[in-house]
Amino acid sequence: MPTRDSCVLCHMPLAEGASLPNRRAGWYEGANPWPLAEDGRACDMCDQTKVLPARLSLFLQPERKSDEKGTD
Ligand SMILES: [Zn+2]
């Protein structure tokens, strides 16, 4: 079971990875790591560099690439 205080993706303490706005707000809990991890928390750095792009690609990319060329 992942510890509550460290990032499931890079294992850095969440407080260390907290973004400046979140530090100012006193928020050190990190972010939801879905879809990269089902459980635990992701630090803000991973949230921005890994989790958000992964979410975007889930929505933007179709499950299978249709790169068909006319074959008739
Ligand atoms: Zn991280």
Q: How many domains does the chain have?
A: 1
| Residue-level pLDDT at 67 | 63
What is the torsion angle, in degrees rounded to the nearest 10, for the CA atoms of residue 63, residue 69, residue 71 and residue 72?
A: 110
Mean pLDDT across the stretch 43-62?
92
Q: Quick one: pLDDT band at residue 71, thresholds 50, 70, 90?
A: low
Domain range enclosing 38: 1-72
Å from CA of 64 to ligand 1 middle: 29
Is 42 in contact with 8 (CB distance < 8 Å)?
A: yes
How much is the mean pLDDT over the chain? Answer: 87
Question: What is the distance in A from the centroid of ligand 1 to the CA of 63?
Answer: 26
Q: Judge contact between 33 and 54, C-beta under 8 A.
A: no
Q: How far is the CA of 1 from the centre of ligand 1 (A)?
A: 16
Find all residues with CB under 8 Å of 44, minimum gap 6, and list them.
17, 18, 19, 22, 30, 31
User: How far does residue 69's CA lie from ligand 1's centre (Å)?
Assistant: 41
Q: List, for residues 23-32, the tens digit of each pLDDT value.
A: 999 999 999 9
CA angle 12-61-46, nearest 5°?
Answer: 10
